Chains A and B, each alone.
Chain A
């Protein structure tokens, strides 16, 4: 009974390709997030959506385009992949936007760009 799920779990691709990562939550939350954990292990927020509306965009290159078809889904599309995009990407969700709302994370997608 997975609360926040991501597909795929692993993604290996060549530079210049376009790829997507999907995220779904079954918690009934109205807010979803994408985080990137780079080689230095920092978890950094990339985007947040509330009721399908973009709320946070943390100066992410416009090659990254999130899309929220409904409140339960937040997909991440990446164009023209670069070596530096290699990282683990985590999706998360919460009820509401406030900073004291617990965020529930998916298992992560490990992206490797060759």
Chain B
């Protein structure tokens, strides 16, 4: 039972354009959402997060939007750079102790020079 879904396995965009990576979730208990970025042969690294009390969080070129009613979040990267080419994982958790991260299966982003 996939509680975090990243339905598009891949995305290809031109350098300088916007990349929009989507994520849906089914568990209404999720209160915190994270995006991790992963390069080949490396572990995931934290990119940006958002709590359920917000609908937007911005960090430089990266912005995450949360639509709680739709149980949907998206990561916007603008402008996209070739170095952004990686696998992006959406993850969710519920506040509180003993909480765990539930990950989606990732989206492979390719940014063409």
Chain A contacts to B: CB under 8 angstroms: 4, 40-45, 48, 55-56, 58, 90, 92, 97-100, 102-108
Which B residues are within 8 Å of any A CB, using their own CB?
2, 31-32, 34, 36, 41-46, 49, 51, 89, 91, 93-106
Please list the 10 inter-chain residue pairs (A to B) with the smallest Cβ-Cβ separation, ordered nearest first: A99-B93, A105-B43, A99-B99, A43-B103, A100-B32, A41-B105, A102-B46, A97-B97, A105-B44, A45-B100
Selected A-B contacts with CB under 8 Å, 21 pairs = A55-B98, A92-B43, A98-B95, A98-B96, A98-B97, A99-B31, A99-B32, A99-B93, A99-B94, A100-B51, A102-B34, A102-B49, A103-B101, A105-B43, A105-B44, A105-B45, A106-B43, A107-B42, A107-B43, A108-B41, A108-B43
Once A and B bind, how many residue pairs between them come within 8 Å at the CB atom? 65
| A interface SS class | loop
